[in-house]
Structure 1
Amino acid sequence: MKEAIKISENENYSAIDLGDLNKLMEYSLIHPINKQEIEGKVFLKDATKSSGTEISFNSLPANTAQPYFHIHNKNEETYIILKGHGFFQVDEDCFEIKEGSTIRVAPKGVRGIKNSSDDIMIYLVVQAKENSLEEYTTADGTRVPYEAKW
Structure 2
Amino acid sequence: MNKLEPNQANYSVNHAGAFSNFGNVTEGMLKGKIFLKDSLQLTSMEVSLNNLPPKAQVPFYHKHQENEELYIFLKGQGQFQVDGNEFDVFEGTSVRIAPDGVRVLQNTSASEDLYFIVIQAKENSLTQWVETDGVILEQPVKWGKSVE
Structure 2 counterpart of 1:101, from 61, 83, 93: 93
CA contact (8 A) 1:8 1:16 kept: no
Look up the match of 1:79: 71
Structure 1 counterpart of 2:132, from 130, 139, 143: 139
CA contact (8 A) 2:19 2:50 kept: no
Structure 1 counterpart of 2:37, from 41, 45, 67: 45
Q: TM-score scaled to structure 1, two decimals?
A: 0.89
State the number of aligned residues. 142
1:20-35 equivalences under 5 Å are 20-31=18-29
Aligned residue type for 2:142: A
Aligned residue type for 1:106: A
TM superposition shift of 1:121: 0.7
TM superposition shift of 1:137: 1.6
User: Alpha carbon RMSD of aligned pairs, Å?
Assistant: 1.3
TM superposition shift of 1:7: 2.6
Q: TM-score scaled to structure 2, two decimals?
A: 0.90
Structure 1 counterpart of 2:103, from 100, 103, 111: 111
Look up the match of 2:8: 10
- Structure 2 gaps of 5+ residues are none
Identity of aligned residues (%): 37
In structure 1, distance between residues paired with 2:37 and 2:28: 16
CA contact (8 A) 1:85 1:99 kept: yes
Q: Secondary structure at the match of 1:65?
A: coil
CA contact (8 A) 2:68 2:97 kept: yes
